[in-house]
Amino acid sequence: MSTKYIPILALILAIGCKPSPDVATVTENPSSTTAGKDGQKPEAPKPKPEDIPASVKHNAYEYYGLGNLKPMGLEMRSPNLPSKTGGVTAELEKIEGGRVYFQIVRTGAIAEDLGDDTVIVDADGVHMAGTTIGTITPTQFLALPADLTPGKTWKVDNKVVKKDGQAIEEKSTYKVEGIRDLKTKSGVQKALLVTSVGRATVSMAGTKQESKYETKSWFVKGIGNVKIEIALTTPGKPTQTMIVEQSS
């Protein structure tokens, strides 16, 4: 089970921001119907893992850890926040038109900062499609492509707007580096390293702050994104590095 950790959400933490507690915006609601009274349709039964089509069980699906629905423990360390722990679980929500929807549910202290996500898997890869932290633009963007050949690159240009009006933008280029040995609490594992380099911009009340933004993410096949490092360098200030990694 992966951290299901999207870099722009890590960026929100790296700059010392916290989500508004009453924000609960999901760009695409994975629930197909709503259960209730007064003539509302009953909630449709959720699909089972064996219902997932083979067309989406590509490398991105495997390395993102969506085939493992067991919870995983996480630890988050940042210079702006005390060390926090919690758990994360992927819940299969629906299958529609060849696309598979998952809700990423976080618990414990990390849930206060990261909220929950919606991700969609199709033949092209794994896409971010919503977060309870705020509103995402565009409504979907590629988190991990189906083609994970070393040297593969893709660009991400997205923005999260919080309820208080603060906007956090990321413009980065991601690259698949290849398989590396990674030492974790589970021992040494073969992990796929994906890096990114780009710019981050924080806007609020007419002011802007730009920083260099770099990430390193290690994905273990069948488990997911077991470690991510986020480095943020603001002119005139020391580089801040945040780490989120598997704790159990």
Q: How many CB atoms lie within 10 A of CB 130?
A: 25
Task: Kindly report, residue by residue over 91-132, the tens digit of the pLDDT.
Answer: 999 999 999 999 989 999 888 878 889 999 999 999 999 888
For residue 170, tell me if it sits in a domain.
yes
- The verdict on residue 146 lying in a domain is yes
pLDDT tens digits along 164-203: 788 989 999 999 999 999 988 878 999 999 999 999 998 9
Question: What mean pLDDT is predicted for residues 19-38?
Answer: 41
35: in domain:
no
Structural domain that includes position 143 = 7-26+49-246
- Answer yes or no: are the C-beta atoms of 192 and 217 closer than 8 Å: no
Residue 125 belongs to some domain of the structure? yes
Which positions ≥6 away from 84 have C-beta within 8 Å?
Answer: 75, 76, 108, 109, 110, 113
Does residue 34 lie in a domain region?
no
pLDDT at 82: 82
Give one DSSP letter per residue of 52-80, joined into a string: S-GGG-SHHHHHTTTT--S-EEEEEEETT
Query: How many Cβ atoms sit within 10 Å of the Cβ of residue 92?
Result: 18
Q: Is residue 127 a part of any domain in this protein?
A: yes
Q: Is residue 123 part of a domain?
A: yes
Residue 31 in domain: no
Pick the range with the lowest mean pLDDT from 18-32, 140-154, 157-171.
18-32
Band the pLDDT of 20: cuts 50, 70, 90: very low
Q: Give how many domains the chain has, as a whole number.
A: 1
| Domain of residue 189, CATH code | 2.40.360
The answer, yes or no, to whether residue 66 has pLDDT greater than 50, is yes
